[in-house]
Amino acid sequence: MLIQAALGDIPTEDVDAIVNAANQSLAGGGGVDGAIHRAAGVAELHRACQALGGCATGDAKATFGFALSARWIIHAVGPRWRDGHHKEPELLASCYRRALEVADELGARRMAFPAISTGVHGYPPHEAAEVAMATLRSVPTRVEVVRLIAYDQATLDHYLDLLGPPWPQPAE
């Protein structure tokens, strides 16, 4: 799988599936979650999320993408940061793993993730990036391209540090 990192606005990503940093009720909210709901169509997405009956922390469920260019939205519920000793890394890794599993079930080949749990959930961005990268690199999947979409330069820098220097381009 190719892992890319970029600054961006996740609802505008041209991929098969985008991942939403959702809350347990899947009711929409602020940050990435609110932006995705507004871009997809609040009423349609709200009805689809209600039909799912919520989602546990560490799990992921899918809806259609509605007005988005992405065909699907995979709603992943990340943990709230307490101190790192209350299974936060395991729950965050589970979000990424479950999102990939759901993407495989849907047949998605290209997907985009936000920095799950680093907004209102307070997960330290560098530690969240480490969990994301380690999980993405370890989970077997048919997803071919994962884009890590950062909302600020500091988050992008964490991703780029973990990705390492770019490989040399082949000669033409």
To the query of whether residue 33 is one of the catalytic residues in this protein, the response is yes
Domain locations along the chain: 2-163
Domain covering 2-163 in this structure, CATH number = 3.40.220.10
From 9, 16, 33, 59, active-site residue: 33
Above pLDDT 90, what percent of the chain?
91
DSSP code at position 10:
G
Average pLDDT (158-162) is 95
CB within 8 Å of 23: residues ≥ 6 apart = 29, 33, 77
64, containing H or E segment: strand 60-64
Cα(95)–Cα(137) distance, rounded to whole angstroms? Answer: 14
In this predicted model, what pLDDT tens digit does every residue of 97-153 receive, in sequence order? 999 999 999 999 999 999 999 999 999 999 999 999 999 999 999 999 999 999 999
What's the order of all strands across the beta sheet hosting 2-7? 2-7, 145-150, 110-113, 17-22, 72-77, 60-64
